[in-house]
Amino acid sequence: MTELSLLEDMAIVLGAALVGGMIAHHLRLPVIVGYLLVGIAIGPYGLHLIHDVADVETLATIGVVLLMFTLGMEFSLKTLRQIGRVATLGGAAQIIATTGLGFGLGWLLHWPVRESLLFGLFISMSSTIIVLKTLIERGELGSPHGRVMAGILLVQDLSVVIVMLILPSLGGDGGVFTRAWGWDLLRALSFLAMIFVLGLWVLPWFMRRVTERRSRELFVLTVVCLVFGAAFGAYYVGLSVALGAFLAGLLVSEAEYAHQARADIGPLRDIFAILFFVSLGMLADPHFIVANPAEVGSVVAAIVVGKFIIVSVIVWAFGYSSKTTLFAGSGLFQIGEFSFVIAAVALDMGIISKHLYSLTLAAAGITMLLTPFGMGLVSGLYHRLIQVRGVSRLFASHTDPGFSDESKRLSGHVVICGYGQVARNLGKVLERRNFPYLVVDIDPKNLDPVRARGVPCIYGDAANPEILARAGLERARVMVITFPDPIATRLAMANARRINPRLDVVARVHRDEDIKTLRELGVAEMVRPELEAGLEIIRHTLHRFGLTTQEIQYIVNALREEGI
């Protein structure tokens, strides 16, 4: 039955995604890789199991919208202000430099000037969805390199508007600055202004009226209408639907109902996001790659190496650490999904050839597949290199000049590695009790408030032995590791033990597999945020039943031992 063809396609796609995801997980690969590969297998260039790829792509757009909305809620206006310079100036510089790279590559391959320029614009875009999904899986979305990458990706998405506006001029339909161009730009700017006005003043009032009804169905419906309304509005004025959804999520992130909205949208987002990743795999044409292996291989190599160098150099130029620069470069070397859209429009206009279009899709698919592996490879190499004496000095950031001498005079102090929200609360308590402490953090923004209060600070990666050597660990009373990176936690612990084998260490831990390793390294106390939150709930609940404090503490201690 033709009316059930879409249902049949969804069943095939989701079933194949389940198999591919399970195989990838079993092989300890990112599940995204499994989704992309099964997309290639069941798509029009593989087994051709899907009747209408366009219908699947339409549903996949819903996944993009929901994913970008939840991404916007993960951020805040304050976070975007903190990374404003590297996002705007650095993102613009990256687009210009990468466009130059693509133009030079086209010149070497004897392409027409117009196609070379457009190819440069294609490869200047990175995949927002692939990068952010990978960051979320790795737990690095809130890290310095995660925030920098998200800011640059946002600027890239905004630049799509300009690229789409100048495409007709490249096709010989007239100058760039036409009346229609100016009208489109005015519409886009008006939409951006309107969504911020509605989000800052109208939306909070309206959402409060909805939440007062205490109806979960109405709340979910309101959030869904908000998401798709913003996405359609962006599309109507010539912006991308992803950008509209991101802006909606960004405005909701400041509201008190953001957590509930994220929880309600989460299941929908995950299902439709899977459709998106599988549909990306369907676009890849393995036959084109087999027919042109040398050209595809050389182009992919040039893109990966070139974009890695460009992004790393730009981030480094804005004063970020070597770790942030390398991780950002390894995460943004792929071609993005919006390049598909621009390339398809350019092909329809007759601006580029079918060959260049196929080459762009092939290079995009390969670089997307390489992204999770590239990020993992750079992460592993970095953490190995910083353990090599001599090499670690190249990655070590300098101690803050104002406190380098004071840190040497500290004794019986606390060394706090990673100054996030948990560490800030600890710092406040230590200051009230006049206990000395020193902060080590790789994000300079986190050090500004403590530096202003006269607290000794070291800017650098706490996993680097050269950094820890400056923290006075041989005279410290305790070291507290609060960052969520499990590899960095293990290395920081191991390096601290080499400096002071008797050092008392308290570490934050999330994964069960890290507990045994840290215990063998000698961590005195391991704190699992999720477990401790559950124990607090148990403590308050048992108190309501009249149990004594001693009884409750005995139960909590027993549960904590079982949990750790």
User: What's the CA gap between 163 and 430, in Å, rounded?
Assistant: 53
For the chain, how big is the Rg over CA atoms in Å? 26
188 touches 161 (CB < 8 A): yes
User: d(Cα 324, Cα 283) in Å, to the nearest integer?
Assistant: 32
Determine contact, residues 336/64, Cβ cutoff 8 Å.
Answer: no
What integer pLDDT is reported at residue 176 of this predicted model? 46
Question: What residue has token string 């991101």?
Answer: 246
What six digits make up the tokens of 538? 């148990």
Task: Report which DSSP code applies to 437.
Answer: E
Q: What is the CATH number of domain 52-170+178-279+320-385?
A: 1.20.1530.20
How many Cα atoms sit within 13 Å of 309 on the Cβ side? 8
What is the CA angle 75-266-194, rounded to 5? 50
Which residue spans of the chain are classified as CATH 1.20.1530.20? 52-170+178-279+320-385
Q: Can you give the length of the chain in residues?
A: 564
Q: What separation in angstroms does the CA of 543 have from each of 62, 249, 530, 540?
A: 46, 38, 20, 5
Dihedral sign for Cα 98, 102, 108, 113, please.
Answer: negative
108-132: b or e for each residue (b if 16 or more CB lie within 10 Å)? Answer: ebebeeebbbbbbbbbbbbbbbbbb
Token pair in block for residue 310:
């460009």
What integer pLDDT is reported at residue 79 of this predicted model? 59
Burial of 263 (0-12, 13-18, 19+ CB in 10 A): exposed
Nearest C-alpha neighbor of 153 from the set 230, 72, 226 = 72
Q: Which CATH class for the 393-527 domain?
A: alpha beta
Place of tokens 């031992």: 561
Mention every residue, 6+ apart, whose C-beta is less than 8 A from residue 310: 94, 97, 98, 101, 329
CA distance 203 to 226: 9
| Beta-bridge mates of residue 244 | none
**CA-based diameter of the chain, in Å?**
82
- The predicted pLDDT at position 175 comes to 47
CA dist., res. 65 & res. 62, Å (int)? 5
Q: How many beta carbons lie within 10 A of that of residue 505, not counting itself?
A: 25
- Give the separation between CA 420 and CA 528, rounded to whole angstroms: 15
Between CA 48 and CA 45 the distance in angstroms is 7
d(CA 110, CA 355): 13
At 271, the amino acid letter reads I
Q: What are the start and end residues of each CATH 3.40.50.720 domain in the chain?
A: 393-527
**Residue 237 dihedral angles phi and psi, to the nearest 5°:** -95, 5
- CA torsion sign for 206, 231, 197, 88 is positive
Which residues, in sequence order, are CB contacts of 342 under 8 Å at separation 6+? Answer: 118, 121, 122, 125, 160, 163, 164, 167
Q: What is the DSSP string of 214-265?
A: T-HHHHHHHHHHHHHHHHHHHHHTTS-HHHHHHHHHHHHTTSTTHHHHHHHH
Cα dihedral 175/180/183/189 (nearest 10): -60
3-state helix, strand, coil in the chain (%, to 5): 75, 5, 20
Residue of 485, 125, 99 lying closest to 324 (CA atoms)? 485
pLDDT in tens, the chain (564 residues): 455 677 888 888 889 999 998 998 888 777 777 888 898 888 888 888 887 777 777 777 777 787 778 767 766 666 566 667 788 888 899 999 999 999 999 999 889 888 899 999 999 989 887 887 788 777 777 778 888 888 888 888 777 767 766 766 666 544 444 555 566 667 777 777 887 777 777 777 887 788 777 777 888 888 888 888 888 888 877 776 777 887 888 777 766 676 677 777 777 777 777 887 788 778 777 888 888 899 999 999 999 999 999 999 999 998 888 888 999 999 999 898 778 777 877 887 788 888 898 898 889 888 988 888 888 888 888 878 777 765 666 666 544 444 445 556 788 899 999 887 778 888 989 998 889 999 998 877 788 888 888 888 888 888 888 888 888 888 899 999 988 777 888 888 888 888 888 889 888 887 666 777 788 777 878 887 777 778 888 888 888 888 888 888 888 888 877 765
- CB atoms inside a 10 Å sphere around CB 325: 21
